[in-house]
Structure 1
Amino acid sequence: MSEINYGYIVDYIRALHTPPQNPILAEIETAIAMGDETWPIIKPEVADFMKVILFMVKPQEILEIGTAVGYSSILMSECLAEGGHITTLERFPYMLKQAEKNIKKAGLEDTIKIIVGDAAETLLTLPSEGYDVIFMDCAKGQYINFLPECIRLLKPNGILITDNVLHKGAVAKSRYLIERRQRTTHSRLRDFLWTIMHTPELKSSVLPFGDGIALSYKIGGTENEN
């Protein structure tokens, strides 16, 4: 097995992945593949999936919770509507430094705005219904805590994409089969997944590829409002 899917399936899907044309994304991928860096970035199949969703939505405003080195922000910028923007939140100085460097090299300083600080505090300062898409890829144990703010911040008909929700398949296992130090994250991820599937404002699906993706649609507004 490879994470949550059979290894041969993962290998085949990743072999279909087209390397990014953006030289900054390619540079980040190469550094990780060569073992020079261990930066956390989304997996190739997740990147392909997100681009399809975002090209369908053509968002004007995207919120990202967890910038890391800026890979996802740069990738998502390719799918924005004309004049669109990305706001991304990061609190770790090392990641912030790398993200700023990559975003500048990509020439996207006017498109991608990094807000520095703890998302638990920063989210409270952002405008209600201000975002067409929210991408959440931060501390997994915080997903359930950030969910109410994500719902508040999403526009009607907005999309929430949440990465790593199956935690290498551990979420599907009994808590008694999980290492004790991982049980809090296990419990909170289960709580998050149950909540998005049972919240009347959302229509959600959990998809078993990458490390698990949750896709949630915020009900409301008029059809094709975006």
Structure 2
Amino acid sequence: MLIINSEAEAYCTSICDPEPPILKEIRRDTNANVLQPRMLSGHFQGRLLSVLSHLVCPKRVLEIGTYTGYSAICLAEGLAEGGKVISIDVNEELEEKTNNNILKSGFQDRIEHIVGDALELIPTLEGGFDLVFIDANKRNYEHYFDLVIDKVNPNGLIISDNVLWDGKVFDKNSRDLTTKALRKYNLKLKEDKRIQKVLLPLRDGLMVARKIS
């Protein structure tokens, strides 16, 4: 299900800043050679992530779900001097490709790619994150949020991808477990008084939450 008209999305993309050459290369390679290329953020969403990162100017970023490194590179574009993106992904098969993509981007000193289970790794990480991007196992979104919220600085952002799930979340009677988990997650964030939030119907749905306290 298209959340926004494809012609409208194409027009919006054409008005965005150009996709950097290394990201265009990663996108094309991912679409040609990696399973489930829809998991890639892509040009439109990638430019939004870059803008948000530049606005926050984060010292520390946590990304949950690296895939082939596209979004990590977008987030690294706005890092403060000496800043770092810590990006976690469970997929060992993509580790070499992802590390090569990060190397080619020139951000290898600013992106730390860790392979492992985020539910196990997040509790071991030091807090003080200015931006968190959640884009991994959708059924675990609620758990990821609970693990990171106390590690995010006041005014820090928590961005969650795919929260509209191809429009399936509109169906209150859906029995699909992922759909039910995302509906529960969206409602959880709606009721959380520690955050200011807005759900954007961009691509597959992007929840942007600012930690108030």
Question: Normalising to structure 2: TM-score of the pair?
Answer: 0.92
1:217 corresponds to: 210
- 1:32 offset after TM fit, Å? 4.6
- 1:37 offset after TM fit, Å? 4.3
**Residues 146 and 37 (structure 1 numbering): CA distance in 2 closer, same or farther, change over 3 Å?**
closer
User: Which residue identity lines up with residue 193 of structure 1 in the other structure?
Assistant: N
Deviation string, structure 1 residues 136-160 (Cα, Å, up to 9, x no partner): 1111111012111120221111100
Preserved contact between residue 49 and residue 74 of structure 2 (Cα < 8 Å) = no
State the distance in 2 between where 1:32 and 1:123 align.
27
SS, match of residue 41 in structure 2: coil
Given the alignment of the two structures, is residue 19 of structure 1 paired with residue 12 of structure 2, yes or no?
A: no
User: Which residue identity lines up with residue 54 of structure 1 in the other structure?
Assistant: S
The number of equivalent residue pairs is: 211
Deviation string, structure 1 residues 152-195 (Cα, Å, up to 9, x no partner): 2211111001111100111112334xxx5xx1111110111011
Preserved contact between residue 131 and residue 154 of structure 1 (Cα < 8 Å) = yes
User: Which residue identity lines up with residue 84 of structure 2 in the other structure?
Assistant: H
**Residues 106 and 7 (structure 1 numbering): CA distance in 2 closer, same or farther, change over 3 Å?**
closer
Preserved contact between residue 43 and residue 210 of structure 1 (Cα < 8 Å) = no
Structure 1 unaligned blocks of 5 or more: 221-226
Structure 2 unaligned blocks of 5 or more: none
Equivalent position to 1:189, from 170, 177, 182:
182
Preserved contact between residue 24 and residue 106 of structure 1 (Cα < 8 Å) = yes
State the distance in 1 between where 2:27 and 2:115 align.
24
Preserved contact between residue 19 and residue 26 of structure 1 (Cα < 8 Å) = no
Identity of aligned residues (%): 32
Superposition misfits of 4+ residues, deviation over 6 angstroms: none
1:60 corresponds to: 59
Preserved contact between residue 141 and residue 189 of structure 1 (Cα < 8 Å) = yes
**Residues 141 and 86 (structure 1 numbering): CA distance in 2 closer, same or farther, change over 3 Å?**
same
Equivalent position to 1:144, from 142, 149, 169:
142
1:158 corresponds to: 156
**Residues 26 and 45 (structure 1 numbering): CA distance in 2 closer, same or farther, change over 3 Å?**
closer
User: Which residue identity lines up with residue 196 of structure 2 in the other structure?
Assistant: K
User: Which residue identity lines up with residue 184 of structure 2 in the other structure?
Assistant: D
1:118 corresponds to: 117
State the distance in 2 between where 1:206 and 1:107 align.
32
State the distance in 1 between where 2:204 and 2:137 align.
14
State the distance in 2 between where 1:15 and 1:94 align.
33
State the distance in 2 between where 1:7 and 1:116 align.
34
2:96 corresponds to: 97
Given the alignment of the two structures, is residue 200 of structure 1 paired with residue 193 of structure 2, yes or no?
A: yes
1:223 corresponds to: none
State the distance in 1 between where 2:93 and 2:173 align.
33
SS, match of residue 175 in structure 1: coil
2:7 corresponds to: 8
Preserved contact between residue 156 and residue 210 of structure 2 (Cα < 8 Å) = yes
User: Which residue identity lines up with residue 204 of structure 1 in the other structure?
Assistant: K
Preserved contact between residue 167 and residue 211 of structure 1 (Cα < 8 Å) = yes
Deviation string, structure 1 residues 54-94 (Cα, Å, up to 9, x no partner): 11111111000011111111121111111111101011112
5 Å matches for 1:73-112? 73-112=72-111
- 1:96 offset after TM fit, Å? 1.6
